[in-house]
Amino acid sequence: MSIPGVPNSPSGMPMRRQVKRDTTEFEDYLSGQSYVAHVSFAFRSGLDGHNYESEPDAFADWIRDHLFLESIDLRGIEPTKDEVLIKIGKGLAGNRSIACLNFTHNNLGQKDVRGFLLALAENVSIWRLELHKNQIDVNGAKAIAEFMRENVGVTHLNLSHNPLIGEEGARHILEAFAENGSIYVMKLAGCNCGEELLAAINRCCRRNRAAVAYKMEADAPQENKRTGGS
């Protein structure tokens, strides 16, 4: 049965019209940033007056789907709700091009840092992660340790100037190195970790660095063979 004004499919059944959803001004603005490799929204200065927290799904989806994004500066964007923070973490986790993430000055110690980091841990492309000056405390250090056990991509982790981490938090981080073979640069200046714990963490970083260098050297002859090199 045909319906006036509605085209039929090859089977003769009426086809439903697809209604295109109107995009918001914020979505249109983000769309204009979709070919930029290095994006800065630091302290919300690059958002052109838009409040990303009013459309967190659009913001997270844009981060996830950006194919050319190499670095993103999210310093001081200060998500006020844990729900928004975790959505950003999931958006970052789904992106496969970001190499460097700056997430400093976001007061993570007062938010659901564990939920954010566990979401972020699924990302496989980020190798440099900046989390200094975030009021991360002992519980935050435990979340960092969980992140270290789950994530395999980050090689450089900056936790400097989080004085509430202390020696107890540093112990949790040190223990996590038993299950982490990727991080070989970790900055903990101004975290009150104590010299002995800092020395132990530095030894773990050197071990990981040596393992990475050995793997690269071991893989080099195979690459030469494939390319016909000597």
DSSP reduced 3-state for 128: strand
Q: Classify burial at 142, counting beta carbons within 10 Å of its beta carbon; exposed 0-12, middle 13-18, buried 19 or more.
A: middle
CA–CA dist 45, 76 (Å, integer): 10
Q: What is the pLDDT of residues 11-49, one digit of tens each?
A: 666 656 655 669 999 999 999 999 999 999 999 998 989
Identify the H or E element spanning 57. Answer: helix 56-65
CA–CA dist 187, 84 (Å, integer): 27
The CATH code belonging to domain 31-221 is 3.80.10.10
CB 182 within 8 A of CB 211: no
CB 183 within 8 A of CB 198: no
CB 191 within 8 A of CB 165: yes
Side chain identity, residue 109: G
0.85 surpassed by pTM: yes
Domain ranges, ordered by start, for the chain = 31-221
Q: Where are the beta strands (DSSP E) in 153-221?
A: 156-158, 185-187
Q: Tell me 8's DSSP state.
A: B
User: Structure tokens of 148?
Assistant: 């270290």
User: Structure tokens of 43?
Assistant: 């302290």
Q: What is the pLDDT of residues 72-99, one digit of tens each?
A: 999 999 999 999 999 999 999 999 999 9
* Look-up of token digits 């302290």: 43
Each residue's pLDDT, cut to its tens digit, for the chain (230 residues) gives: 555 555 565 666 665 665 566 999 999 999 999 999 999 999 999 898 999 999 999 999 999 999 999 999 999 999 999 999 999 999 999 999 999 999 999 999 999 999 999 999 999 999 999 999 999 999 999 999 999 999 999 999 999 999 999 999 999 999 999 999 999 999 999 999 999 999 999 999 999 999 989 888 887 776 555 555 54
**DSSP code string of 18-43:** PPPPPPPHHHHHHHTTTT-SEEE-GG
What's the residue count for the chain?
Answer: 230
Query: What is residue 229's predicted lDDT score, i.e. its pLDDT?
Result: 52
CA–CA dist 19, 177 (Å, integer): 52
Quick count: other Cβ atoms within 10 Å of Cβ 146? Answer: 16
DSSP reduced 3-state for 103: coil
